Amino acid sequence: MKLQILGTGCAKCKTLTQNTESAVRELGVDASIEKVEDIAAIMKFGVMSTPALVVDGKVAFSGKVASSEEIKGILEGAK
Amino acid sequence: MLGLLVWWQVYAHLELAAKLLTYDVFRLPVGAHLSSAVEFFVYEVPKVLMLLVLVVFGVGILRTYFTPEHTRRVLAGKREVVGNVLAASLGTVTPFCSCSAVPLFIGFLKSGVPLGVTFSFLIAAPMVNEVALVMLFGLFGPTVAGIYLASGLGIAILAGWTIGKLRMEGQVEPWVYEVEVGESIEEHPTWAQRVEAGRKAVPEIVGKVWLYVILGIAVGAGIHGFVPTGLMAQYLGAKAWWSVPIAVVLGVPMYSNAAGIVPVVQALLGKGAALGSSLAFMMSVIALSLPEMVILRKVLRPRLIATFIVVVALGIIAVGYLFNAILPSAGGN
C-alpha cells in the first residue's frame, strides 16, 4: 500500500504524518509513507486544503487531521 | 437536543450564580470596586466560554457544508460585485488555514474564479473570525460585534473589488496558470458525521483559545472594578488624527490569532483608546500578517502583494476613521 501525505509542512501536516505512522504500525500493514510538499504535485490531486491523505493514488480526505483510529478504518477499507 | 436544553438552563442562571458566589460565598461587600470586579469575572468567564463552545460547535457543523470545493464551485465564473460579496461571505464560514492559502489560491484561479473575487475570499477568511466575534459580543455587546462583522465583510468586498479593477492578473506568478489541477473529490458526510465534526472542533479550537479568553476577561475585570487611567486616550483617542494609521502600522508586523488580540483591544479601550482605532489595530493584526505574505509570495509578484497590503490597510484605516467619527466615546467601561 502506498500512502502519501499532502501538505506544505505546517504543524497539522506533521500531526497527520504521526497519526498515519501509528495507524500503520498498529495495524501491522505493509505500507510506504511519503510526504508530498511540492505545490504542483499537491494540486494534481485536486486538493485545495491541506493536509490530505492519499491512499494508492486516491484522495481519502483533505483539510483535516484525522485521528489514527479514523486512518485505521480507511486503511482497513482499502486493503 | 438534551445538551442544548441543559446548556440554555445553565446559561440563563449564570448571572444569579455570579451574584451568589460574589456576595454569599466570598462575602464581599456590595458596592466595592473589588466586588464588582469579582462579580464581572465570575459571570463573564463561564458566559463567554459557553458562548464560544456553542458557536464553535455550530460553525463546525456549518463548515461541513461549506468546503473549499463547494465554495469554488459557487464562485467559478461569477461576475465582479456579486462575486466579491459572495466570496467575502463564504470566506467567513469556509474552513481556512493560512498554510493552505497557496493551494486554495491556485485552485480558485484555475477553475475560473476572478482574481479580485479570490482576494475577497482570502481577505475575509482570516479577518472575520468566529472566535473574535464571540469574544467581542461577550465583552462589549452586540454593537461592537456587529460593527466588526460588517466592517470586516465591507473591507473584504471593497478591497477584492478594487484589486479586480486594477487588472493585475499579470502580477500572478506565471507557473500558477500552468499547474495541472486534478479533479477534486467532494465528500458528502452524513448528519452524524457533521455533528461529529462540530463536536471535534470544540476541544480543538476552545482548547487553543481558552487561556486568552480568561486573560481578556481578567483585564476587563480589572478595568471594570477600578478607574481607567486614560493613558491611551492621548495617543489612540478619537481626537488624535494620527491614531488610526499608527494603529494599523503597529498591527502589520504583529502576528496573533483573533483570540489573543481581543484582550489587547479591551485593554486599549479601557485605557481610553477610541473604538475605531482599537478595531483598526485588531484588524490589522489578524488580516495583514507577514507570515501569510511570505507564503503568498510563492504565487504573487511583489507588486501585487504590495497592492494587496495597501488596499486592505486603506480599508482598515477608513473603518477606523468612520467609527472614531460616529462613536467617539463607545467602548471602555
Q: What is the DSSP code string of B204-271?
A: HHHHHHHHHHHHHHHHHHHHHHS----TTHHHHSTT-TTHHHHHHHHHTT----HHHHHHHHHHHHHT
Annotation marks residue A13 as catalytic: yes
For chain A, the distance separating the N- and C-terminal CA atoms, rounded to the nearest angstrom, is 8
Amino acid (one-letter) located at B215:
L
Size of interface A-B (CB pairs under 8 A): 70
- Whether the per-residue pLDDT at A51 is higher than 50: the answer is yes
- Whether the per-residue pLDDT at B118 is higher than 90: the answer is yes
Residue of B nearest to A67 (CA): B200
Mean pLDDT taken over chain B? 84
> Which CA distances in Å does A9 have to A16, A17, B100?
11, 10, 10
Mean pLDDT of B257-262: 76
- Whether the per-residue pLDDT at A69 is higher than 70: the answer is yes
pLDDT digits (tens, 9 = 90+) for B168-209: 999 999 988 888 888 777 778 889 889 988 998 899 888 888
Give bridge partners of residue B300 from the DSSP assignment.
B172
Between chains, do B67 and A63 touch, taking CB under 8 Å as contact? yes
How many CB atoms lie under 10 A from the CB of residue B41? Answer: 19
Mean pLDDT of B301-325: 93
Nearest CA distance, B276 vs chain A (angstrom)? 34
In chain A, residues with a C-beta closer than 8 Å to the C-beta of B187 are: 61
Closest CA to B296 of B179, B129, B81, B123: B123
User: Which of B97, B175, B184 is closest, CB to CB, to A46?
Assistant: B184
Least confident of B88-97, B106-115, B293-302: B88-97
Mean pLDDT of B4-8: 82
- Whether the per-residue pLDDT at B333 is higher than 50: the answer is no
Between chains, do B99 and A10 touch, taking CB under 8 Å as contact? yes
Residue B233: the pLDDT is 61
Cis status, amide bond into B189, omega within 30 of 0: no
- Whether the per-residue pLDDT at B331 is higher than 50: the answer is no
Residue of A nearest to B72 (CA): A48
